[in-house]
Amino acid sequence: MRFWVGGYTADAEGTATGIGVLHAGAVDSPLAGGDLAFRGVAASAPSPSWIAAHPTPDVLYAAQEFAGTVRAFVRTGEETYAPHGAAVDAGDAVCHVAVAPDGSSLVATCWGDGRVVQYPVSADGRIGGPRIAAAADDPTTDNSEDADSATQNQLAELSALAGMTGFTALGDLPLFGAEAQSDVTRAVGADGKDETGPATPAPARVSRAHQTRFLPGGVVVTTDLGFDLVRFWTSGPTGLRLTQEVTLPRGSGPRHTVWHPSGHLYVVTELSLEVFVLARDAAARAGEGWRIVGGTSLGAGTAPGSDFAAEIALTRDAAYVVIGIRGSNTLATVRVRDGGRALAAVALAESGVDWPRHHVVERDTVLVAGQLSNEIVSLTLDERTGAIGRVRRRVEAPSPTRLLAAHG
């Protein structure tokens, strides 16, 4: 198989120089377990940390993270691309781009300033002008009189879910900001006297939009890692229209999502190291009726505060979910149960790299991009049990952050 590789360049203290090319076995094979070879650069670009492909024209889109722009690249040869129009403004630290299934639009998310930006895409794949979507508000701001009832209902519902079998909510921490700072700090001095005083204010929370996914029925979902939000949208002639927000526990940090064929949305949280299961009321209008129905922690051996979840991916039969964990540099396997509604952590395996920023599952092989070790590795996957084996192949690759299977 052939893969396009996103990476960090010198502007992010990385060693990549643009969009790279990886061979995993023969390029015309549907299997990725063969020898790995990094074939150089397909297109020069500044820190194309995330890349996505148009469904019809042979065009790639790059989130040029620290330039704050998105850009299209058109294929000019078997393994070469060239700029396809000018770079277009996105926002501070744009970290993800996704293309609509019909190729009519592109959505970028920016972790630096929380922007969600939609762009029209022309028939030949060029990017049009930006249309900035509604900004997120912090749902846990202590303005109880102004807090909408839908958000309060979500908080109560998830609090109840903490007692569900197979669901662990952020270790021993309370849900949804119940751990919020008191306005005093209680302390006892050496003489035994109460030395209560003002608490140090918690740092201000900021919006950090992180990923976009297009769902069936024309619905778009984005994550906001800073405000702990999963936001649902529909697309119209003037851009994205916000239809619903689901609030996750305060400080959990929703990062990436994956769509399960059962109709459930799985959300991995970078900071609390959990996966939440969201389901939609079938009677609700498009983009509405979403709620949390279950979830799981990533299991013993993970440590919130020193570990940080990255990518989430399904196995070929959608029976397991594989999550990359930076810090401990592991891969967590989670079993799908109860028709997609429930999850259960199975095991942790060594990823074989330093800082597993991204991974893909291709049949019986997991390919992992090690951002800090400057390499890509392949590991075996037992599709029956979900067990991940040892590293099978390894190749040097400059600061890799994204692996995208090439088609054609």
Q: What is the pLDDT of residues 95-113, one digit of tens each?
A: 999 999 999 999 999 999 9
Percent of the chain beyond pLDDT 90? Answer: 82
pLDDT of residue 140: 86
Q: Is the pLDDT of residue 327 over 80?
A: yes
How high is the pLDDT of residue 141? Answer: 79
Condensed to tens digits (0 to 9), the pLDDT of residues 195-242 reads 445 556 667 899 999 999 999 999 999 999 999 999 999 998 789 999
Distance CA 350, CA 330 (A): 5
Burial label for 350, CB within 10 Å (0-12, 13-18, 19+), is middle
The whole-angstrom separation of Cα 354 and Cα 397 is 12
Residue 396's pLDDT band (cuts 50, 70, 90): very high
Q: Is the pLDDT of residue 77 over 80?
A: yes
Query: Which structure tokens are listed for 291?
Result: 């709620």
Contact of 68 with 115, CB cutoff 8 Å? no
Instruction: Give the model's confidence band at 359: pLDDT under 50 very low, under 70 low, under 90 confident, else very high.
Output: very high
- Cβ(393)–Cβ(36) below 8 Å: yes
**Is the predicted pLDDT of residue 172 greater than 50, yes or no?**
no
pLDDT higher than 70, residue 350: yes
Burial class (CB in 10 A: 0-12, 13-18, 19+), 45: buried
CATH of domain 149-171+205-350: 2.130.10.10
How far, in Å, CA of 122 to CA of 235, rounded? 16
- In a 3-state reduction of DSSP, which class is residue 235? strand
Give all strands of the β-sheet with 209-215 in edge-to-edge order: 209-215, 219-224, 229-236, 239-247
Distance in angstroms (rounded) separating the CA atoms of residues 192 and 179: 26
Q: Where are the domains of the chain?
A: 149-171+205-350
The pair of structure tokens assigned to 214 is 């297009």
Q: What pLDDT, on the 0 to 100 scale, is given for residue 201?
A: 64
For residue 170, name the pLDDT band (cuts at 50, 70, 90). very low
pLDDT of residue 155 exceeding 80:
no
Residue pair 69/82 in contact (Cβ under 8 Å)? The answer is: no
Distance set, CA 113 to CA 110, 132, 136 (Å): 6, 12, 10
Whole-angstrom distance, CA of residue 230 vs CA of residue 223: 5
